[in-house]
Amino acid sequence: MQIIKRNAELRVDDSLMRLYIATPKPAGHYPGIVFYSDIYQLGGAMTRLVDRLAGYGYVVAAPEIFHRLEPVGTVIEPDDLGRMRGNDAARRTAIAEYDADACAVIDFLKQDPTVLPDYIGTMGFCIGGHLAFRTAFQPEIKAAACCYPTGIHSGKLGKGVADTLQRMKEISGSVLLIFGTLDSHVPEDGRQTIAEALNQTTIAHTTRLYEAEHTFMRDDGYRYDPVAADAAWSEVTAFFKQSFG
C-alpha cells in the first residue's frame, strides 16, 4: 500500500514535539499506531520503519522522544558520540514526561479523522520498546509490539527507577515482545524477569526470540540482520492484524 508522509507539531508541557506521520494513501479509516524510536530519534533508519508499518494499513505517528532537550528536527548520529548524547538525554528525561508524551500522541491519533479511535496500538525499538510497553498502560491501547525493549527488567528508562514491572497489570491489550538472544542489553536473565512478571498477569502476550544482536532490525547498523528482521516483521504485522481484527 502506498503511503503519504508528513510532519506535524504537538505541544506537551509547553514543549514543541515533532511528530513524523505516515498514512496509507487510499482514502479510508485505519488503526493508529504510536511509534517510538531508539535513542537516536527520527533518522532515516527509523522513518523507514514507520513507513513500512504504515504500508500495511496503519496511521503511524512517531514523536521525537527528547523534544524537551533537543531542538525540533534533531537526529542524533548512531555513533559513539551519538550514543553518549542519546543516553544522556534519556537519563535526563523524567519518566512522567515520557508518560505524558504517550497520552498526548494517543489523543492526537484519536482526533485524526482518518484514524479509527477504538483501534490504537503502539510499537517501539530499544528504549522505544520500553516506552511502547508503558504506553500500553493506557486503556486505549489494544496492542503493543515491543522490539528488544531495554530497561523493563532493570527499571532503567529516565530519571529515577521506572515502575514498569510493578504496573504490568494495568495493561488491557495484547503484547508482542521481540528479542535477540545475543543482545547484551536484555540478557537471558532480564528476559526471564519480564516473562515471569507477565506470567503472573492475565495479559495476552507472545515472545519471539531470534539469534541476533541488539538493534538487529535497524538497517544502517553493523548489527543489522535482514533475515531476522524480516522474520520479526512477519510476526509484527500478523500480531497487529490479529489484534485489530
* For residue 8, pLDDT beyond 90: yes
Q: Please tell me the total count of domains within the chain.
A: 1
CATH of the domain at 167: 3.40.50.1820
Active site residues: 126, 183, 214
By residue range, what is the domain housing residue 138? Answer: 3-244
pLDDT, position 11: 96
pLDDT digits (tens, 9 = 90+) for 53-112: 999 999 999 999 999 999 999 999 999 999 999 999 999 999 999 999 999 999 999 999
pLDDT, position 79: 96
Its pTM stands at 0.98
Q: What is the mean pLDDT of residues 163-190?
A: 97
pLDDT, position 66: 98
pLDDT digits (tens, 9 = 90+) for 228-242: 999 999 999 999 999
What's the number of CA atoms in the CB half-sphere (13 Å) around residue 68? 18
Q: How far is CA 129 from the centre of its chain?
A: 5
Distance CA 85, CA 244 (A): 37
When pLDDT is cut at 50, 70 and 90, the band that residue 39 belongs to is: very high
Q: What percent of the chain has pLDDT over 70?
A: 100
Backbone angles phi, psi at 41, to 5 degrees: 65, -150
